[in-house]
Structure 1
């Protein structure tokens, strides 16, 4: 025991209840700040929503891919992604091209015209995550990501 009545492991860190309190207060502030990230002027007329950010992030970080691959990463049905891709393709934000190795498949990518605006839109969040994660060891990063995933899964229970 430490002198202030906490266990030694809590004296150096944060107790579970204090952690819960802190995160319950922090999460709404974080979500509020993320929601205030302005859509670039050149994308404002496209009626983009937060669900589009994840799709764009996968295409920016992982490169062009099929609708099925996007659906798997987004954890939604391929029909849902197909509708989003169709809508964004008609608007010129995304490009759909036949896969050279299998003409039955379509490869989705961000159009060159809109790539800088989308990259800029995501850059603020990516920069904040980079500043938060770079000081951590790879093991600490893994634990942090695993903890956020466990929290997300916990929200689905009950």
Structure 2
């Protein structure tokens, strides 16, 4: 499946967070803009840099009315360790069967490898921004924050 495009309704989903609690996209709709970012793997250099950059900008996102949610295929236990080790204040979701990743088309390299993709979803559940880049980690955060501020 190709990556979901701007203007598309974001599919709802429910996945366990780093404490095992089920979290749904619908939990935030109507109240917050959601910055949903898919990343390849906990505890790797690029993904740690990305998560820590979101952490360092987290207050800017929440001040602008957004919630940041990270998704990878790692387990709840791995997410719990990763979030604790780096002081991540946002939710990490365990998409262990990669179903949500596939639903959003958040893959790269011919649809085989896990992609680094960020979506900004407005309060009505519509995708307002989609950014895909394995290497431009800072671009995910900068672009997402610009869009969130425009949606205020």
For the criterion TM > 0.5, the same-fold answer is no
* Higher RCO structure (Cα 8 Å, ≥6 apart): 2
Comparing both structures, which one devotes a greater share of its residues to strand? 2
- TM-score, structure 2 as length reference: 0.32
